[in-house]
Structure 1
Amino acid sequence: MSINVSRRNVLQLSMGAAAISLLSACGAKSEDAGPGDAAKETIEIKVGYIADYNGAALMAVADQEGYWAAAGLKPKYLPFTNGPLAIQALGTNNVDVVYIGSGALWLPASGKAEIWAVNSVSNADRIIAQPGIKTLADLKGKKVAVPTGTSGDQLFSLALAKEGLSRDDFEVTAMEPPAIVAAFASNQIDGAALWYPLIDSAKKGQPDLVELYTNEDFIDTLTFPSTFVAAPGRAAKDKDLATGFISVVKSANDYRHDNQDSTIALTAKFLKLKDEDMAAQASVAKLFTSKELETLSSEGTVETWLNGLQEQFKKDEKITEITDPKKFYNSELFVNAPAV
């Protein structure tokens, strides 16, 4: 497989390396003993998440419902601000599996990670602009902030192609998502490629901001799945850990699908945010039962989603060739893992 990551993407992946290196590697196992019982061994799993509904709901549910313990796992959680940084952390051995949005799937396609499970399909991304700007063309020559290698970056590329524009038509600045929120609220930038719930934060500074594009504008040709990924080859080396994690995800996923209100409350508590904030975020996620995800995986639909995204990544020069999704998504592993 040929891999070609642009200088722009390499620079983005290098961001935060110093911060990541400060995370200390954790022991692989911990022991719990009950009164009068022999020590019971559980496996510690280090899980990376993003602090929003899509990125944290299943973790919150698994904690509440005891799914981790049922699978013989003990989680340690690490927060990340975006998928590329989370995948970079996989290479440090400080995290075992991480959540990423669809925009970071060029990294598994490039051989940087493998998909263990599909989480949901997102409609959270937007191209936003300051009040008074009505079209993407109105932003020509103006400052537009983009978090490189993310789903927001992906949506920006799609919007440019649709309107026959290029990045050279704008003053594009690579920024981290939290910095984009602050810059937008203070009028330091004119537009941005971002996602909910960060857009809700931007609205506090600019309540009349304009949404120029959304994922739904391209839903006829592309699907935007969020996933859980691990380092390449990790499942083959540690199948029990992978199967256990997927089992937890399946159980938590079905709880979320059937109990949306309580999942919103649990996620808000997990993230120390308000229920109403979680409810707004939940509204931009398309959920499936685990059985539906098994069918979508075994019948090749998920592979179709991944191929469609790869075509876009190739146009954006994030990858040089389209890879068989089977090389980075083992659908049989997901389908065969039982719920806890």
Structure 2
Amino acid sequence: MNNIRKLTAVAGATMVAALIMTGCASSDGAPQTEGDDAGGREQVQLNVGYIDTSINGVGLIAVANDLDLWEKAGIDVNLQPFTNGPTQIQAMAAGSLDIGYIGGGATWMPASGQATIITPNEATYGDFVIASPDSGAESVEDLEGLRVGVPEGGSGEMILALALEEAGLTMDDVERVPLDPPNVVSSFVAGQIDVAAIFSPLSDQIFESVPDAVVLANNKDFPETEFVGAWVASNQAAADKPDAVSRFLEVWIEANDWRLDNVEEAVQLAADESGAPVEQLQGQADALEWWTSDTILENNESGKTNEQFDALVDLFVELGRIPEKVPSEEFVNLELFEQAKDARR
């Protein structure tokens, strides 16, 4: 029996309800199908979301599918593609999703109590503040009074805030032009804005269309505030079926370590799974850092993981996404990752 059934986000809730009605409860409250996995554990069911155009989302899922890791972990998985992180957290609130992937720009949502981070996934370096060659801007200090196109609520806004702060400026010092991400590119190329605060792969489109565009800031300029993407669980799943969530992390650990050793093949698997261009996914992979599961465990134990998310919380407070600082210990669960590592030893 094939344990993998890919569902659309719309159909997911209906299918999940049917499975819950017919399944019986496991010891941790998760529905389970008949039979045990190869390790003798009764199967659990999980509804897992991912971003279908992200090497960090579909890339991990494609590797897990290709290596048959769901069956190995005893998971009957319902896979649900999404276009972004916030809609996955909304699905969690509706009860139709257990686990999903979010980029660093959506970290304010678990920080505000809407989900639980279960593992960091990557640090991205594909966010840029880019000036038109006709703007005259050669540094961030030159942005005062210029028209800056920026998507609301994402990593473009974050990189712009960091750059302005370091230059001694604020958002009030620029003419901020809120735009949808694709419109940032088209407006920049058309000369309707002077500056773009945007992320990969859209930043790549700007460089292709305007090769003499001027890079004013990039993530690498701010090593103390890494834009860390993460896999998250619904608060209900983290509390009521931790064994099932820990089993997902067993899958994540093996798929993550495999993709680090086989990046090109992981990119091709992701392209085959999603239909996204190989070049686009490879460009994303080139602009990020993945960590081995051993490194993540070390970072968890040393406190570095919490420091990474604490730095993002500080930025979200500055941007007004959350009203006050929340300790990362309140929304990051490191114990489940340790359990998953122990189960694989």
TM-superposition CA deviations, 1:20-71 (whole Å, max 9, x none): 996662423399xxxxxx9657625131325122333211211111112322
* Runs of 5+ unmatched residues, structure 1: 1-19, 32-37
Instruction: Provide the residue aligned with 1:294 in structure 2.
Output: 297
CA–CA distance in structure 2, aligned partners of residues 279 and 21 of structure 1: 26
Q: Deviation at 1:290?
A: 0.9
Q: Does 1:27 align with 2:31?
A: no
Partners in 1 of 2:163 and 2:208 — Cα distance? 25
Matched, 1:282 2:285: yes
Structure 2: distance between partners of 1:96 and 1:300 = 26
Deviations 1:256-306 (A, max 9, x none): 111122112212222323433333221211121111111211221101112
Query: Separation in 1 of the partners of 2:67 and 2:267?
Result: 14
CA 1:267–1:157: 2 relative to 1, 3 Å: same
Task: Give me the TM-score of the superposition, normalised by structure 2.
Answer: 0.81
Cα root mean square deviation, aligned: 2.7
Residues in 1 aligned to 2:197 and 2:303: alpha-carbon distance in whole angstroms:
30
Q: Could you tell me how far apart the structure 2 residues matched to 1:52 and 1:320 are?
A: 30
Is 1:187 aligned to residue 175 of structure 2?
Answer: no
Aligned position for 2:233: 230
Q: Would you say how many aligned residue pairs link Structure 1 and Structure 2?
A: 313
**What do residues 117-174 of structure 1 show as CA deviations (whole Å, max 9, x unaligned)?**
1111211211122233423344433332222222221111111101111212222133
The answer as to 2:249 corresponding to 1:246 is yes
Task: State the AA in 1 paired with 2:205.
Answer: S
Taking a change above 3 Å as real, the CA distance of residues 65 and 21 of structure 1, as seen in their structure-2 partners, is closer
- TM-score after normalising by structure 1: 0.82
Residue identity (%): 32
1:265 matched residue in structure 2: 268
The 1-side partners of 2:185 and 2:128 are apart by: 13
Shift of 1:213: 0.6
Structure-1 separation of matches of 2:51 and 2:309: 21
Is residue 12–residue 80 contact of structure 2 (8 Å, CA) maintained in 1?
A: no
Q: Which residue of 2 aligns with 1:166?
A: 170
Rounded Cα–Cα distance in structure 2 between residues aligned with 1:21 and 1:258: 31
Query: Aligned ranges for residues 198-209 of structure 1 at < 5 Å?
Result: 198-209=202-213
Amino acid across the alignment from 1:52: S
SS at match of 1:75: strand
> Could you tell me whether the CA contact under 8 Å between 2:127 and 2:218 is conserved in 1?
yes
Residue type at the aligned position of 1:308: A
Q: Residue 107 of structure 2 corresponds to which residue in structure 1?
A: 105
Native 8 Å contact 1:48 1:95 kept in 2: no
Contact 1:186–1:205 (8 Å) recurs in 2: no
Contact kept? 2:97, 2:234, Cα under 8 Å: no
State whether residues 60 and 267 of structure 1, in contact with CA within 8 Å, keep that contact through their aligned partners in structure 2: yes
> Which ranges in structure 2 are unaligned for 5 or more consecutive residues?
1-7, 23-32, 36-42
Match of 2:214 among 210, 217, 222: 210
